Amino acid sequence: MRRTPLYERHVAAGAKLVEFGGWEMPVEYPTGVRAEHMAVRQGCGVFDVSHMGQIETVGPQALALLQRLLSNDVSKIPVGGAQYSVLCDERGGVLDDLFTYQVDPDRFLTVTNASNHERDLEWFRSRARSEGFTAQVRDRIGDYAMIAVQGPLAREVVQAISDTPLPARMTAGKRRLSGIDVLACGTGYTGEDGVELLLDPADAPALWDELCHRGAVPAGLAARDTLRLEACFHLYGNDLTMERNPIEAGLGWCCGEDTGFIGSDAVRAARAAGPREALVAFKLEGPGIPRQGNRVVEGGVVTSGTLSPSLGVGIGLAYVPPQLTAVGTRLQIDVRGKIRSAIVERKPLYGKGT
Amino acid sequence: MAEGSYPEDLLYHPEHDWARIDPDDPRIATLGITWYAQDALGEVVFFDPPSPGTAVTKDQPYAEVESVKAVSDVVAPFSGEIVEVNEALVDDPGAINEDPYGEGWLVKVRISDPSERDALLDADAYSATLG
């Protein structure tokens, strides 16, 4: 297993470590997942996400290459902008979900999921070669550690050590935090405000220590999952796989078929035909905790499930037939032999307005 | 409890479950999970007790305890029939973490074969399996 530059910090803090995407990562600290989750919802949490990968695309045809690869319209990203998209194969199956930043003109940085990084890199490279784009694809995973600071107080905590204003939501830019150079991104995976910081791995322990010293609560992968699930963000491997297309996953909004990305014909057809199954968010009406793989009695399957620390009830995402997707539809979830009653809810399950 | 603790008066199953034979009735045993099991699981957030009258089989799971992240089987050290369950855990599953050998007891069973105790471990032997 690979270890991030912050591994020793997690060990010293008494974290439970697990294998994730080939990396040894903290799943929770002695604080516990519920307290870590609530720290992000109410204050400021800090996550080591250095296991995620980075691919840099550079050159006169960098934009053209990315238009071919990424589902979204990459020409809409200004210098200093950020954009979410999916990566599809020719059948429109999802290979990964990604964030891409235009760092400089003709220079883009794409953040990949740890478990897909190698496959994504090979996909980028082989397409650049086979389709003859004048662009270089560079593996930058070794050059960056990544720290996410999330919560209503996150910007305040990070702003206190930045001598210039932090980038706004969905923008990215170079900053200096406590004398450490970072690429700061106004993005996150928790449904709260905050930033994600890309930096030299050698600087990561010092920045982590500074953030913790200023009140950021270390939070592990378990809290990362409960937070993103309440916000109804997808997790690759659960809600997104090669067997799912973006339309059924509810990600048609980040697909611009007119850019001619790989898989766009299949996505266009899926959008026109309507999905055979669609991803919905649901809450249980009573006790129980839905889990990935639980069958939906009326049709379909749960792809993510947990106990929501904020709501105190079981929540999840499930693919169901289109006639069951209306908010308020009652579903029965077969949780290892016990049938639990659930209701389809608006997304997000927790957030502004809930 | 902060450190691993394994009371001397209990019998232990290698799958991290304990049994306490009732001092007044050797046919009744109280069952639960060990300190090691609750520590590995993290905060228990859900326990759905099985029903009294349910048969349990030695070495087979008879219930589940759940953390936010995971579901963990609870294995029976003895075969028999469940005669009582700890309903208080429905509202306070965290008692399994705080007091795994006391308030965190899961079920009581009427043992069908007392000789099954020979397959169980004492506190020292069980601790030794934890490495």
Q: Are A172 and A80 spatial neighbours (Cβ–Cβ below 8 Å)?
A: yes
Residue B44: left if φ>0, alpha if ψ -120 to 50, beta else—which one? beta
Paired sense of beta strands B61-66 and B46-47, if any: antiparallel
Q: What is the Cα–Cα distance from B31 to B22, expressed in whole angstroms?
A: 11
- Predicted confidence at residue B1, as pLDDT, reads 53
Residues in a beta bridge with A47:
A148
Cβ contact (<8 Å) for B43 and A34?
A: yes
Hey, is the C-beta of B71 within 8 angstroms of any chain A C-beta?
Answer: yes
Q: Which residues of chain B have pLDDT under 50?
A: none
Q: Are B129 and B121 spatial neighbours (Cβ–Cβ below 8 Å)?
A: yes
- Predicted confidence at residue B131, as pLDDT, reads 74
Residue B66 with chain A: CB contacts under 8 Å: 289, 307
Give all domains of chain B, ordered by start, each with its CATH number: 12-116 (2.40.50.100)
Q: Are A18 and A207 spatial neighbours (Cβ–Cβ below 8 Å)?
A: no
Residues in a beta bridge with B63:
B74
- Predicted confidence at residue B51, as pLDDT, reads 96
Would you tell me how many other CB atoms lie within 10 Å of the CB of residue A246? 27
Question: In this structure, what DSSP letter does residue A234 have?
Answer: -
The pTM of this model reads 0.95
Hey, is the C-beta of B66 within 8 angstroms of any chain A C-beta?
Answer: yes
Hey, is the C-beta of B46 within 8 angstroms of any chain A C-beta?
Answer: yes
Residue of B nearest to A225 (CA): B69
Hey, is the C-beta of B127 within 8 angstroms of any chain A C-beta?
Answer: no
Assign B64 to helix, strand or coil: strand
Cβ contact (<8 Å) for A291 and B64?
A: no
Cβ contact (<8 Å) for A222 and B68?
A: yes
Residues 91-120 in B contacting A (C-alpha not used; CB under 8 Å) = none
- Predicted confidence at residue A352, as pLDDT, reads 59
- Predicted confidence at residue A183, as pLDDT, reads 97
* Residue that the structure tokens 């589940």 belong to: B64
* Order of strands across the sheet that contains B80-85: B11-13, B17-22, B25-33, B107-111, B80-85, B55-56
Residues in a beta bridge with A101:
A82, A109
Which run of H or E residues covers position A129? helix A117-130
Q: Are A13 and A212 spatial neighbours (Cβ–Cβ below 8 Å)?
A: no
Which amino acid is residue A102, in one-letter code? Answer: Q
Question: In this structure, what DSSP letter does residue B118 have?
Answer: G
Cβ contact (<8 Å) for A291 and B71?
A: yes
Two tokens, residue A37: 């989750």
Cβ contact (<8 Å) for B42 and A289?
A: no
Nearest to A198 by CA among A122, A110, A97, A85: A110
Q: Are A96 and A127 spatial neighbours (Cβ–Cβ below 8 Å)?
A: no
Least Cα separation, residue A338 to chain B (angstroms): 10
Cβ contact (<8 Å) for B69 and A16?
A: no
Hey, is the C-beta of A33 within 8 angstroms of any chain B C-beta?
Answer: yes
| Digitized pLDDT (tens) for each residue of chain A, 354 residues in all | 999 999 999 999 999 999 999 999 999 999 999 999 999 999 999 999 999 999 999 999 999 999 999 999 999 999 999 999 999 999 999 999 999 999 999 999 999 999 999 999 999 999 999 999 999 999 999 999 999 999 999 999 999 999 899 999 999 999 999 999 999 999 999 999 999 999 999 999 999 999 999 999 999 999 999 999 999 999 999 999 999 999 999 999 999 999 999 999 999 999 999 999 999 999 999 999 999 999 999 999 999 999 999 999 999 999 999 999 999 999 999 999 999 999 999 999 997 554
Question: In this structure, what DSSP letter does residue A87 have?
Answer: E
Q: Are B91 and A49 spatial neighbours (Cβ–Cβ below 8 Å)?
A: no
Q: What is the Cα–Cα distance from A102 to A62, expressed in whole angstroms?
A: 10
Residue of A nearest to B48 (CA): A288
Nearest to A200 by CA among A140, A118, A259: A140
Residues 6+ apart with CB under 8 A from B18: B7, B10, B11, B12, B31, B32, B33, B34, B77, B100, B101
* Residue that the structure tokens 């199954």 belong to: A277
Residues 6+ apart with CB under 8 A from A272: none
Residue B68 with chain A: CB contacts under 8 Å: 33-34, 222, 226, 306-307, 309
Give all domains of chain A, ordered by start, each with its CATH number: 7-50+144-229 (3.30.1360.120), 53-137 (3.30.70.1400), 276-354 (2.40.30.110)
A21-31 per-position pLDDT tens digit: 999 999 999 99
Most B-contacting residue of A33, A225, A229, A339 (CB-CB within 10 A), to test interface = A33
Residues 208-237 in A contacting B (C-alpha not used; CB under 8 Å) = 222, 225-226
- Predicted confidence at residue A28, as pLDDT, reads 97
DSSP letter string, A174-206: EEEETTEEEEEES--SSSS-EEEEEE-GGGHHH
Q: What is the Cα–Cα distance from A64 to B45, expressed in whole angstroms?
A: 50
